[in-house]
Structure 1
Amino acid sequence: MQILTVLSGAGALLVAGVFAAFTWLVLPAFARTGPGAAAPVMQAVNVVAVRAPLMTALFGTGACCLALAVLALVSGRPGPAAGCAVYLVGCLGVTVAGNVPLNDALARGRVTDFARWAAAWGRWNTVRLLACLATAAVLWGTSPDR
């Protein structure tokens, strides 16, 4: 359980770092370049993002969280399970229900107002960032060696 706690917490922080880079660096840079330049770059980013490094971090952390949640609940420790639920819902759930549909719309050329698209994408991305940070904090606070 301790190894899963460390892997889940570290994975959540790694994924949070990716999301933070987008919220604090990439999206503001897009706003400075304008939609004509930003939209094609974001389309390219979305293609590159769906590769092993990010997908392993994102869904590998989800798998660790799922395993940890089950073990924690079986052993009567709801704290780690709660932290994992935050990741599974706030990170993976928001990714699937919020960011991916926006990415798909952009890829299909259905976005007519990139600034509005980027604002919506950024809000969902910030939710994911906060969920990842909350996951790491809860797991740190409920770590078996604490």
Structure 2
Amino acid sequence: MASVLIYLVLIASVGAGLNAGLFFIFSVCIMAALARLPVPDGITAMNAINEVIQSPLFFIVFLGTAVVALAVIVIAFLQGTPGSGLAMAAALVFLAGTIGVTIVVNVPMNDALAAAAPESAEAAALWGGYLATWTAWNHVRTATSLASLVLFVLAYGRMAGA
């Protein structure tokens, strides 16, 4: 069972890293670029991104990492081997800070943006707040994905050294 856990931690490390990179590029580049566009164009572009990102590959990486993180919690708890505590912490950080924030904050904001007509006054009012709030919460997702990656790597190191 220990060998299964170490492989799950390795897989979760890769998934957390991929998510951190995705969210990082939104935080440092994509949202700032969208903010430079005229409001209807920015909204239209963000809505297009939100549609395109919903691909099988994205869901495998995003939700697959969540499933692996859940498995890590269960197996690490049951085994209690060196690195198990770090692995559980990594999984919890990813689930709460990356998956949880996405579900509770970013997706509802995306849905509200998609429901607004890009040329409307309502959409223009929504856009300014959307950019600031969505991006701030995306910073949280970036940080928690990165923190999860670091914790998974530390857990892997402890497990490999045991």
Query: Which range, TM-score by smaller chain?
Result: over 0.9
Whether 2:19 is the aligned partner of 1:12: answer no
The structure with the larger Rg is: 2
Whether 2:105 is the aligned partner of 1:98: answer yes
Q: Is the 8 A contact 2:93 2:144 kept in 1?
A: yes
Residues of 2 paired with 1:25 and 1:54: CA distance?
19
Match of 2:115 in 1: 108
Q: Please give the TM-score of this superposition, normalised by the length of structure 2.
A: 0.86
The alignment yields a C-alpha RMSD, in angstroms, of 1.1
In the alignment, which of 123, 132, 143 is matched to residue 145 of structure 2? Answer: 132
Q: Please give the TM-score of this superposition, normalised by the length of structure 1.
A: 0.95
Letter in 2 for 1:116: G
Q: Is the 8 A contact 2:87 2:152 kept in 1?
A: yes
Match of 2:160 in 1: 145
- List alignment gaps of at least 5 residues for structure 1: none
Identity over aligned residues, as a percent?
A: 31
Which aligned pairs between 1:1-146 and structure 2 lie closer than 5 A?
1-76=5-80, 77-109=84-116, 111=123, 112-143=125-156, 144-146=159-161
C-alpha displacement at 1:54, in angstroms?
1.1
- List alignment gaps of at least 5 residues for structure 2: 117-121
Worse overlay, 112-121 or 133-142: 112-121
